[in-house]
A and B are shown apart, each in its own frame.
Chain A
Amino acid sequence: MSDVPAPTLRRTCLYEEHLSLGARMVPFSGWEMPVQYGGIIEEHNAVRRAGGMFDVSHMGRFELLGPEAAAFLRYVCTYDMARLAPGQGHYAVVCRPDGGIMDDVYVYCLAEDRYMLVANASNADKIRDWLRQHRPRFKAEIADIHTSTCMIAVQGPQALERLARVMDTEFVRSLKPRACAETDWEGKPLFASRTGYTGEDGLELVSPAQTGPRLWRALLDAGITPCGLGARDTLRLEAALLLYGNDMDETVNPFEVGLGWVVTLDDSAEFIGRAALIHAREREPVRALACLKAEEKGVMRGGHPILRSGQEVGKVTSGSYSPVLGVSIGMGFVPPQMAAEGTEFAVDVRGRLLPARVVRRPFYKRPKAGKESEA
């Protein structure tokens, strides 16, 4: 058992809500966060089958404002954010000049001169400093809204239906995948985007911190299951979504982890890491991130060696148990020629060899929704 959490841990505006729901709280990236309320598998299944919600207020949030906010974002992100129209969002990475990934972020365009960037909790301070360092080149301002706002992700096949009981139905219906918009909720501003980190449909909401607890309780009343970081991790792993610090870090470039699609090189715009990323794209890759599925019982975890014919050829970066598949799954770096579907490996689980095979990404894909019209 770990010792008493450091007294410096930060708490989100929903801390009291978590306690009253009996959550087990754990330190996570400097925050005291709920890892589970009931059981992880139960919460995982609630999201896959109906609707669950997560307090993600620990994630960094910044508003970028001003006539050159788009150019500023273009300069610090690998994706050409200047092509986003108001109401659109996009995923990207922030790279160092050498192409190493500093963070993976989501950027939302609220207006031509107003954007929101969401960063990982573990990188929030680093990204804030990085943005501040590069801001003076642009007519743009940075507003750190990390603690003044609350962020809740509502995910699952019934998420939108249940959200429509809590907020304006037309507003909820109007959001297409990756779209974002602002509205009012009980007289206070509310941001919503049709994005998430679970492989399910749903919205991510940002409200003022003072409104957070009321919004959380309204979502509970609508039958949405509170879910902790434990289920968040198993859900994102089944969807083969990357986790910063596990599957990528500053020693990894976007092409090595299948994120070439968020690197825009054809707009000839200058951005941090561009030259290194052009080089990385043209070079033979030295490793690839593969999706591994265990063939026997046992659980692979991050750090476990991946063996092929008895030789270590890579390491698992993320591993856990998949409640949907009923076996262990993971992702790991292997030589590119061994990343083909069907390739057999053994994962060294503390001395025991767990047979595993490369499978198609993702491990879990949600069934095509029949009734949610995108029109």
Chain B
Amino acid sequence: MTRTAVGLVLIVICAVIEGLAQIAWKTASMRPDQSRRWIALGAVAYGSEIALYTLALTRVDVSIAFAMGSLSFVAVAILSRLLLGERINWLRGAGLFLILSGVALMGEQA
């Protein structure tokens, strides 16, 4: 796998981790009795994301990496649908599709 491909994979992983961190913090607000645990989990996730994103930046242009980071919008939407029961209507789905299309194009440009 080329260095650039590794960088792109790292960015996708960062997006998923960010999705999990956002879900953790949302859960913290929904379950006040367990909020500290969920906030700590979110903070650990963000810490991991920072380390991986730094590694990704050694392999990919920031204009690509930052734009592809918008995959986190997609990750958050899917994870919140699966884990929290939040809904994705057609407009949100269309927006997520555009983001995915843009990310795919940026990945190809890397």
A and B physically associate: no
Q: Which residues of A contact B (CB under 8 A)?
A: none
Q: Which residues of B contact A (CB under 8 A)?
A: none
